[in-house]
């Protein structure tokens, strides 16, 4: 902990920079890290919140453009004309806001939906609005939970809650990996 305190003293902006970049690596861990930093006083809570929102939004918004870029290929345009793809497009575009809000909270659905939104040429302004709103709500809930647990449990909870949250995220990631590995149908 002394090394972290020394680094923060030398580079007080470093935690904010890390939070701008961390969502590009792993969003949930970055959000938990930001909330943890906020509860233990590693920076200004508002700036920590703002940094993670900006980083999370940037991380999510580029995925839309990956979908749009895919559409520039001839094979993708043919694929987009298939009946099943058209049906999926209609469902996503008709309920874009609620879909983007829902996928924020459903593990494993965010990236495919964001890329599909770009592929289906959803309005970028509407897409951006819903991605930022859903991200802000998600981060606010996590920050609120961490701060509430810290208030209820005192200093001991401030140390334990981040460990529990990180353990839950790691367990979820391992569970998803195991599920994908063993839920494939057997080849005949």
| Domain assignments of the chain as residue spans, ordered by start | 2-172
Residue with tokens 């930001």: 34
* pLDDT more than 90, % of the chain: 24
For the residues of the chain, what is the DSSP string, one character each?
A: -HHHHHHHHH-TTHHHHHHHHGGGT-HHHHHHHHHHHHHTTSS-HHHHHHHHHHHHHHHHHHHHHHHHHHTTSHHHHHHHTSHHHHHHHHHHHHTHHHHHHHHHTSTT-HHHHHHHHHHTT--HHHHHHHHHHHHHHHHHHHHHHHHHHHHHHHHHHHHHHHHHHHHHHHHHHHHHHHHHHHSSPPP-
Q: Rounded distance, CA 21 to CA 30, Å?
A: 9
Structure confidence at residue 178 as a pLDDT band (50, 70, 90) = confident
- 6 pLDDT band (50/70/90 cuts)? low
User: What pLDDT sits at residue 137?
Assistant: 94
pLDDT at 188 over 50: no
First-to-last alpha carbon distance for the chain, in angstroms, is 55
In this prediction, residue 135 has a pLDDT band, given cuts at 50, 70 and 90, of very high
Give me Rg for the CA atoms of the chain. Answer: 19
Q: Mean pLDDT of all residues in the chain?
A: 80
Angle at 182 between CA 180 and CA 115, to 5 degrees: 15
Q: What is the mean pLDDT of residues 87-110?
A: 84
pLDDT tens across 136-173, in order? Answer: 999 999 988 888 876 544 555 556 656 666 666 667 66
Q: pLDDT digit string (tens) for 17-64?
A: 888 898 998 888 889 889 888 887 788 889 999 999 999 999 999 999
The pLDDT score that the predictor gives to residue 54 is 96
């Amino acid at each position: 902990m002394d090394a972290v305190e020394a680094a923060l003293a030398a580079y007080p902006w470093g935690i904010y920079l890390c939070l701008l970049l961390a969502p590009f690596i792993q969003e949930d861990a970055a959000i938990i890290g930001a909330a943890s930093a906020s509860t233990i006083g590693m920076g200004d809570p508002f700036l920590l919140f703002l940094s993670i929102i900006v980083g999370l939004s940037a991380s999510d918004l580029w995925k839309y453009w990956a979908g749009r870029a895919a559409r520039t290929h001839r094979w993708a345009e043919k694929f987009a004309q298939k009946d099943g793809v058209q049906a999926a497009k209609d469902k996503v575009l008709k309920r874009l806001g609620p879909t983007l809000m829902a996928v924020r909270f459903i593990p494993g659905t965010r990236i495919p939906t964001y890329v599909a939104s770009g592929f289906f040429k959803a309005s970028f302004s509407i897409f951006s609005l819903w991605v930022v709103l859903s991200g802000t709500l998600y981060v606010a809930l996590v920050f609120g939970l961490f701060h509430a647990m810290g208030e209820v449990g005192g200093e001991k909870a401030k140390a334990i809650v981040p460990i529990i949250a990180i353990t839950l995220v790691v367990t979820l990631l391992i569970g998803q990996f195991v599920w994908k590995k063993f839920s494939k149908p057997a080849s005949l």
